[in-house]
């Protein structure tokens, strides 16, 4: 444990976040204690072995504090972080603001390096993605919105997962009750958005393809009956677990206008799949992908996670060799984030699984391989407790960029989110984003589906 004494009592959150990035394995506590008068502003790092280090910092503003603290921690630890002093989750937004003010891409890169001490590679990546996002967002309707539908069921719970999901098992009755509750919320939201047409629809979870083909068809029919889909630019459904994908389900999706799907291996190494609880094989991935191509899907995403237990550069190279043969249209590369709610945190800590210490090298290799496959970076976000203080990046072929992925991160369009754990967002004219969350727990959501509609009426309804 490291105790950080912060006399002014300001910016505790920023101090904690940046210190955690340098000491990811340590418990960090920031406390306020008075220092002697006339002493320059400093933070006192108290280590368990009794050692103390004083880092003199600027308290003239948040960014100034973070820059000076970053420089002090770099000197103290000998480490540099790829994103410098940035601890927020949306670095592309910072680049976008600079472009909106009239800066060139080159000026934006220089500003990111200067203001946040980002590495040249990450500053360039943020600026490149921001330029691409601006072009995509420029084509959207100002009065449009996006629709998200959550199907919180999975065949098993993956070791790294902290999303709202439930093992489906044999309890089809709970699925039926959930869908009936979802349809009530869907009808309420359709009335609220009457006269407006969604530009993107995203059905996620969980794993939507845990639904039976008949359940999936009923869901899509009800969606078509409730909402005007004539302006759709993108219709996504996550078929994330290949062991849930069948030709019958793929045909249902095609018949109802799904344009983009995800078939997510996370890794193509069989041993790792067993460790993380995926309960499918690499052959299942290949079979599902090829069947999707046979059924006419020309925009398929694949998710990969860097730094899974027992995986290093060799294993990642093998995964990319396999993925290259399939030639996906999208590739989303995630840095492993060991979340508080996931079983992996306990497994890693107690059983001592090997975790790669070269996450920056793995990310560099992943970016290189994505470019070699003709895939360009188009969105990026970060999470807490992310290995190597890195990022998640979406790559795609030209013309296959995932619009919803950009919208959920940049918060420039309303998002009506339905289902357990879903979070709706309303973006005001001044750019302020207001949120409304649904109940996470399945039984609680089912019992209160009508209230979820009322919450959205309060969020999106006219004053």
Per-residue pLDDT tens for 368-427? 999 999 999 999 999 876 767 889 999 999 999 999 999 999 999 999 999 999 999 999
Pairing state between β 376-381 and 392-396: antiparallel
Report d(CA 142, CA 412) in Å as an integer.
9
For residue 66, count other CB atoms closer than 10 A to its CB: 24
Q: What is the DSSP letter of 15?
A: H
Per-residue pLDDT tens for 221-276? 999 999 999 999 999 999 988 999 999 999 999 999 999 999 999 999 998 888 88
Task: Quickly state the pLDDT bin for 205 (edges 50, 70, 90).
Answer: confident
Report d(CA 18, CA 30) in Å as an integer.
12
For residue 120, count other CB atoms closer than 10 A to its CB: 11
Superfamily of chain region 145-452: tm_1862 like domain (3.80.30.20)
Per-residue pLDDT tens for 313-370? 999 999 999 999 999 999 999 987 655 445 556 666 665 555 667 888 999 999 999 9
Report d(CA 256, CA 285) in Å as an integer.
23
- What is the per-residue pLDDT for 252? 98
Mean pLDDT of the region 3-25:
88
- What is the per-residue pLDDT for 431? 87
Tokens of 98: 């600079």
Q: What is the mean pLDDT of the chain?
A: 90
Report d(CA 235, CA 260) in Å as an integer.
6
- Classify domain 2-77 by CATH number: 3.40.30
């Amino acid at each position: 444990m490291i105790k950080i004494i912060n006399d002014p009592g300001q910016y505790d959150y920023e101090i904690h976040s940046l210190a955690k990035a340098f000491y990811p394995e340590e418990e960090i506590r920031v406390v306020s204690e008075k220092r002697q008068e006339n002493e320059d502003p400093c933070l006192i790092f108290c280590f368990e072995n009794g050692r103390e280090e004083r880092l003199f910092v600027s308290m003239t503003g948040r960014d100034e504090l973070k820059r000076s603290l970053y420089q002090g921690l770099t000197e103290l630890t000998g480490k540099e972080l790829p994103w410098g002093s940035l601890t927020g989750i949306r670095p592309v937004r910072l680049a976008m603001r600079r472009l909106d003010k009239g800066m060139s891409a080159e000026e934006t890169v220089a500003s990111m390096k200067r203001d946040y001490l980002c590495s040249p590679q990450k500053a360039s990546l943020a600026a490149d993605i921001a330029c691409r996002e601006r072009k995509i967002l420029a084509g959207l309707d100002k009065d449009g919105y996006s629709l998200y539908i959550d199907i919180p069921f999975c065949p098993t719970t993956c070791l790294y997962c902290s999303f709202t999901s439930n093992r489906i098992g044999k309890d089809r009755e709970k699925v039926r009750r959930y869908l009936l509750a979802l349809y009530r919320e869907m009808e309420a939201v359709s009335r609220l958005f009457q006269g407006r047409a969604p530009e993107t629809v995203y059905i996620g979870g969980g794993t939507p393809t845990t639904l039976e083909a008949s359940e999936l068809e009923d869901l899509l029919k009800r969606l078509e009956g409730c909402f005007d889909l004539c302006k759709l630019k993108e219709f996504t459904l996550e078929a994330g677990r290949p062991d849930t994908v069948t030709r019958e389900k793929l045909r249902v999706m095609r018949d109802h206008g799904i344009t983009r799907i995800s078939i997510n291996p996370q890794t193509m190494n069989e041993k790792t799949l067993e460790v993380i609880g995926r309960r499918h094989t690499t052959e299942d991935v290949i079979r599902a992908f090829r069947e999707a191509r046979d059924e006419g899907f020309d925009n398929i995403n694949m998710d990969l996670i860097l730094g899974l237990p027992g995986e290093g550069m060799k294993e990642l190279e093998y995964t990319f060799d396999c993925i290259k043969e399939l030639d996906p249209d999208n590739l989303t590369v995630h840095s492993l984030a060991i979340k508080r709610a996931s079983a992996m945190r306990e497994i890693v800590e107690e059983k001592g699984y090997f975790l790669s210490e070269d996450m920056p090298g793995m990310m560099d290799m992943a970016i290189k391989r994505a470019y070699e496959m003709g895939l360009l970076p188009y969105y990026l976000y970060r999470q807490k407790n992310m290995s190597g203080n890195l990022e998640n990046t979406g790559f795609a072929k030209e013309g296959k960029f995932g619009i919803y992925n950009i919208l959920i991160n940049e918060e420039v369009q309303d998002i009506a989110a339905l289902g357990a754990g879903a979070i709706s967002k309303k973006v005001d004219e001044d750019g302020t984003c207001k949120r409304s969350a649904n109940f996470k727990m399945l039984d609680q959501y089912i019992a209160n589906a009508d209230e979820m509609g009322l919450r959205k009426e309060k969020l999106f309804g006219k004053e």
